[in-house]
Every structure is written in C-alpha cells, then in structure tokens.
C-alpha cells in the first residue's frame, strides 16, 4: 500500500524497473463488495462472544473504509510488470 511513485522507488532499490503498468481500478469494485458479502455471511455463522466475531467486525470496518475510499477515487489499483535491471 502506498503511492505508485513509492512502489516504483522501492522496486528500483530492489534492482527492478517497471516494464508495463495498467490501471485496473474500475475493475476492482466487485472485489470489495464480494468481500463484504462474504464477511456478512461469516458473521451470521459466528458466535457473537468469541474472538472470531471481533476479528470479523474489524475486517468489515476496514473493508467498508476501503470501499468508501474506492468510491471517492482515493484508491488506485494497478497491474504492474517488473523486470530486473
């Protein structure tokens, strides 16, 4: 997680360079929606007083924040191909 520029810099420090990149952000909306649906399903099957329930609630919270950020245009998803330099 971070900016694309941060990613390119880190790749450069690791001896890699970006060969190709494609913005796939508009294709990733369903990932967040399907993940939240799965989490809701798992919550229904989970005992409310256990640690798993608390973990799932935290996951729903963070996935919901990511989905809102996606809708706001704050998240970019890229497919990146690297090559050794």
Closest CA to 70 of 37, 19, 28: 28
Mean pLDDT, range 68-82, rounded to an integer: 94
Residue 29's pLDDT band (boundaries 50, 70, 90)? confident
Q: What residue has token string 């935290």?
A: 58
Domain extents in the chain: 4-84
How far is Cα 36 from Cα 59, in angstroms, rounded to an integer? 9
Residue 27's pLDDT band (boundaries 50, 70, 90)? very high
| CB neighbourhood size of 73 (10 A) | 8
Integer distance in angstroms from the first to the last C-alpha of the chain? 23
pTM above 0.85, yes or no: no
Residue 32 CA: distances (Å) to CA of 2, 58, 62, 85: 18, 15, 10, 35
With 80 as the cut, is the pLDDT of residue 1 above it? no
With 90 as the cut, is the pLDDT of residue 24 above it? yes
């Amino acid at each position: 997680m971070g900016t694309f520029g941060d990613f390119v810099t880190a790749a450069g420090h690791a001896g890699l360079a970006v060969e190709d990149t494609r913005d796939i952000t508009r294709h990733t909306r369903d990932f967040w929606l399907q993940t939240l649906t799965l989490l809701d399903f798992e919550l229904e099957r989970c005992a409310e007083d256990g640690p798993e329930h608390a973990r799932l609630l935290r996951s729903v919270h963070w996935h919901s924040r990511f989905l809102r950020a996606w809708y706001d245009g704050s998240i970019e998803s890229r497919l990146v191909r690297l090559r050794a330099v």
